[in-house]
Structure 1
Amino acid sequence: MKKMRKIRALLAAFTLTLPSWHVQAGEIAIETGEGNVAALLERDAHDFTDAVGRALIDLTDSPPSGKTFAWLRSKVQGATLARIEYAFEKNGQRVMRVYHGRSGHSLETIIEKATRRSASHASGTESSATESGDGIDIPEADDIARDAAEAKYYRRETEFDVRAPKLPEDTSRLEATVVDNMNHSWDAELKTLRRIESDIQNKVVPAGGRLTGYVSKTVCESCREVIDTFARVFNAEGTIYQLIEPGTGAVTGGGATAIQRSRAASNDLLAARKAYAKANLNPARYVAMREEGASTLADVSRLEEESVVLRDIDGDPCAP
């Protein structure tokens, strides 16, 4: 009887410790985003398109073919975009650091694949290189190095606004998984959270911050696991708002449900991305940029630089 009482006491003590463990572990919810998400991500879409244009000037000697431009436009239009605002306390103030990520390989690798595909189609042959996603037969470490060196093609980073290139897996606790035979190592959400993780490890920002994210597509199962791991390991709280891709039917902004409105916003963002890519990734624009010396133009400061001190995060623009 005494033994049973001891067991019950031990179980009760163990049970009492569970709530405190759960309080320490963070939680990041994934919600359906609407029109304001599309508006926030449109600038990131423009930045990616502009970066491809600048890289083309540096990496090619003459205008690529129309087919090459068409393929590049399809890549910038289709890439997943992620913008994550990480809020934390610093010197008694609430500060926000904004991270911008996009899916896919380095610009140089994407351009190499585009020109190789164009040359293969022109000659009536197909490349024998083993290809995966946006990439070609290049070791992952080399593509990571390329991506890191391509900061010059994007907006200049500031203390409060940074790009999220792909970081090595062996330095991270966030792991991609294979879903439906697809490798998700180059996903935008993974890249962006790994950059925040790196900043936490290097004491640029503290753990335990509040995260508000915006993603241009439905978050996949691999990235959901990454988000859960990040929340648990770094005690982060917050919400990520995802846009739901349109189905086959017509979509309007006046939909009665959040999913309908999200699909309408996704449709609007895609239309805006297509229009911008068409206007800025074409042979005529390439020639004009080369004449202007566009690859050496001074970087433009991020639009959010005025938001050094975090706006009241309780006034979340996506909250109902």
Structure 2
Amino acid sequence: MLRESYDIHVEAAGRMLQGAAGANLATPELNRLAHRWIRATVARFEYTYHAGGRERTRVYHAMSGREADEILGLPVSEASGQYVGIAASRRASIEAAAGSQLAVPEPGHRLDAEVKGFRTLERDLVEGKVPARGRLRIWISQPICSSCRAMASSFETSYVIDTTIFQWRRSVGPDDVSLFRKLDQHRRLGSSTLRAWRRAGSGVTGRTGCLP
């Protein structure tokens, strides 16, 4: 589940690299992105609501830290346009909604994956893209911090949305077979794929065979 959210970001970065063949991208920038994404928190927000007499779900995919085009210094005019093929879902981003009701992130937590997820869903609520009073389920690749807990509480209270958070245990010991361990292995494969795309200059290729 979180591997899918991670892959959406990696594949979008691959499209950015493909479209920036003449941007003279330096290896250190690509290595910086690969290194940061190995360590990044991954979050998946699934918001379920009723509209048109049917139950619907919109999925938000979040990755902590700066966005790929910012790290790479690529001239991508609209990064969200690189996130294709994700019907009924969105890349989560950091912009706050007008008149946001969410708690302000603590210093050092402004770019947390959870902040991006809550802010993006709030924008959709404020803009009328989805109705309030639905049900929100969140999966996070590591335990949630106090700053994001405060934001979750303010979100649930402000929009009357029942929110459930699933946190993965952060462990990468040699005998660990947890979901976090599997995601950690998958992220390392994704970082290698980013470097391979850049070296080959061949754009995005399927990653099904990389799934553990």
Normalised-by-shorter TM-score class: 0.7 to 0.9
The yes-or-no answer on 1:252 pairing with 2:176 is yes
Alignment CA distance shift 1:79-1:209 (3 Å): same
CA contact (8 A) 2:62 2:114 kept: yes
Residue in structure 1 matching 2:26, options 42, 48, 64: 64
**Structure with larger RCO (C-alpha < 8 A, sep 6+):** 1
Q: What's the offset of the Cα at 1:56? A: 2.8
Q: What's the offset of the Cα at 1:109? A: 1.7
What CA distance in whole angstroms lies between the structure 2 residues aligned with 1:170 and 1:183?
22
Residue in structure 2 matching 1:184, options 102, 105, 109: 109
Secondary structure of the residue aligned to 1:214 is strand
Question: Aligned residue for 1:235?
Answer: 160
What CA distance in whole angstroms lies between the structure 2 residues aligned with 1:232 and 1:147?
37
Structure 1 residues 6-42: Cα deviation after superposition (integer angstroms, max 9, x where no partner): xxxxxxxxxxxxxxxxxxxxxxxxxxxxxxxxxx011
Q: What's the offset of the Cα at 1:59? A: 4.1
Q: How many equivalent pairs are there?
A: 204
- Cα RMSD (Å): 2.6
Question: Aligned residue for 1:136?
Answer: none
CA contact (8 A) 1:176 1:184 kept: no
Instruction: Report the TM-score when normalising by structure 1.
Output: 0.57
Q: Which amino acid aligns with 2:26?
A: P
The yes-or-no answer on 1:270 pairing with 2:184 is yes
Alignment CA distance shift 1:269-1:173 (3 Å): same
Alignment CA distance shift 1:43-1:289 (3 Å): farther
What CA distance in whole angstroms lies between the structure 1 residues aligned with 2:159 and 2:153?
10
Q: What's the offset of the Cα at 1:288? A: 3.1
Show the 5 A alignment for 1:1-80: 40-59=1-20, 61=22, 62=24, 64-65=26-27, 67-80=28-41
Question: Aligned residue for 1:174?
Answer: 102
Q: What's the offset of the Cα at 1:147? A: 8.9
User: Which consecutive residues of structure 2, in runs of 5 or more, have no partner in the other structure?
Assistant: 206-212
Larger Rg: 1
The yes-or-no answer on 1:289 pairing with 2:201 is yes
The yes-or-no answer on 1:206 pairing with 2:131 is yes
What CA distance in whole angstroms lies between the structure 1 residues aligned with 2:68 and 2:179?
27
Q: Which amino acid aligns with 2:198?
A: Y
Alignment CA distance shift 1:88-1:168 (3 Å): closer
Q: Which amino acid aligns with 2:125?
A: I
Secondary structure of the residue aligned to 1:281 is helix
What CA distance in whole angstroms lies between the structure 2 residues aligned with 1:88 and 1:281?
36
What CA distance in whole angstroms lies between the structure 1 residues aligned with 2:41 and 2:52?
35
What CA distance in whole angstroms lies between the structure 2 residues aligned with 1:57 and 1:243?
33
What CA distance in whole angstroms lies between the structure 2 residues aligned with 1:272 and 1:56?
20
Identical pairs, percent = 26
Alignment CA distance shift 1:90-1:191 (3 Å): same
Question: Aligned residue for 1:155?
Answer: 84
Question: Aligned residue for 1:82?
Answer: 43
What CA distance in whole angstroms lies between the structure 2 residues aligned with 1:177 and 1:147?
27
CA contact (8 A) 1:82 1:100 kept: yes
User: Which consecutive residues of structure 1, in runs of 5 or more, have no partner in the other structure?
Assistant: 1-39, 116-145, 254-263, 298-320
